[in-house]
Homo-oligomer: A and B are copies of this chain.
Amino acid sequence: MRTIRVKTASASYPVHVGPDIISNLGKHLHKLTGKRTPRLFVLTSPAIWALWGRQFLSTTPKSQRPSVLFLPPGEQHKRLSSVERLATELSLAGADRSSLLIAFGGGIVGDAGGFLAAIYMRGIPYIQVPTTLLAQVDSSVGGKTGVNLTTGKNLIGSFHHPLAVFADIDVLKTLPQRELLAGLYESIKAGIIRDPALFSFLEKNRERVLAGDPAALNRVVSSSVAMKAEVVGMDERESGLRMILNFGHTLGHAIEAVTGYKKLLHGEAIAWGMLTAIHISRSRKLLPEQDALRMADLIRAYGSLPRFFASIDDLLGAAGRDKKNKAGTRRFVLTQGIGNTVVVENVKDSELASALELVLAEAAR
């Protein structure tokens, strides 16, 4: 088990990565909470609980059997109405500020569960036990929690750091291949924006990684988490550096919104968004053609992205509502080479439209 520490101005907590973590969760929790033995509440998805619930329960002592709350799968449930239902259930079950919420699932469970913990009684402690690759390498780390509005993804939320994150490589065994792949796009992003060694590893070990080789996944998850922990540690609230994590996300979020959060997984939308950002970076001559090709090749090498249809106008409209925008300007993360990222505020609609034309043609094939 490797432990990476996230240290920000407001919090410091460990991210544990490795095999055999859930089977020892009871011990880990005991270390975290000591003699307090808080009441435990688990938020999970029906599918994850069916696969891992028994093992989860077997590691917690009988005196601390958790109450289990469920969030159905799908972005359409990552909404304030679900959070309200869950908060009401917590309240009826007697959860209070000394209780501990465990978000045990993918990114949706983690984001919505973290937000539930952030706003229930103005904040209760929680831990993240991410069960998808995407959640392990990205959403469980950094304290961003939230839910969607109909007008955009994650437009509602809080910064609320977990007490700890437990990323168990074993659970990835039961992850559908498409979801594994979707998570890998965030690791590819980690490589592109800040970790050339991870980028090369992903280039050279495609088959091992896609086959779910535990050692290879351990390496990918650890490096991705370490990159993110470092960035978040330097800029907790996204006033500067942290924005580079949004590489591919401005358009990725717009694509998700325009396709109704149904057609594409988050990571897949981000992959399309990265391809768009690469186009813009290259047409600005920011990005050497050599690097542009390697980046696009790596994204495409990990599998064929699901197609989608959308109009440029709709995408520009949705991109206009992005959280990263400030007083009318459009923040955009571009790349100058592998590991070399830049944030600009002057990307014109026309530039975006040209890049989108290429990407939409590829997406409609």
Contact = CB atoms under 8 A, between A and B. Distances in A.
Interface of A: 38-39, 79-81, 83-84, 87-88, 91-92, 94, 96-99, 118-123, 144, 146, 149-152, 155-159, 320-321, 323, 325-328
A121 B81 contact: no
A156 B117 CA distance: 10
Contacts of A91: 149, 151-152, 155, 321
Contacts of A150: 88
Nearest to A150: B88
A86 B249 CA distance: 25
User: Among A79, A98, A149, A152, which residue has the most Cβ atoms of chain B within 10 A?
Assistant: A149
Given A97-B326, A149-B87, A327-B38, A122 B80 contact: no
Contacts of A157: 119, 121-122
9 residue pairs, one from A and one from B, having the closest CB atoms: A91-B151, A98-B327, A122-B157, A80-B84, A121-B323, A80-B80, A98-B326, A119-B156, A96-B325
B159 A122 contact: yes
Contact of A155 (B94, B121, B155, B158): B121
Contacts of A321: 91, 94
Given A121-B155, A156-B87, A158-B122, A327 B92 contact: no
A120 B159 contact: no
Nearest to A325: B96
A155 B327 contact: no
Given A122-B146, A149-B91, A151-B92, A84 B156 contact: yes
Contacts of A151: 88, 91-92
A99 B123 CA distance: 25
User: Among A83, A119, A328, which residue has the most Cβ atoms of chain B within 10 A?
Assistant: A119
Contact of A158 (B87, B158, B328): B158
A98 B325 CA distance: 9
A87 B81 CA distance: 14
B87 A323 contact: no
A120 B155 contact: yes
Contact of A96 (B84, B121, B327): B327
A123 B81 contact: no
Nearest to A149: B88
Contacts of A121: 155, 157, 323
Contacts of A96: 323, 325-327
Contact of A123 (B119, B122, B159): B159
Given A96-B327, A97-B323, 18 more contacts: A39-B327, A81-B84, A84-B149, A84-B156, A88-B150, A88-B151, A91-B155, A92-B151, A94-B320, A94-B328, A96-B325, A97-B326, A118-B158, A119-B158, A120-B156, A121-B157, A122-B159, A158-B158
User: Among A94, A120, A155, A158, which residue has the most Cβ atoms of chain B within 10 A?
Assistant: A155
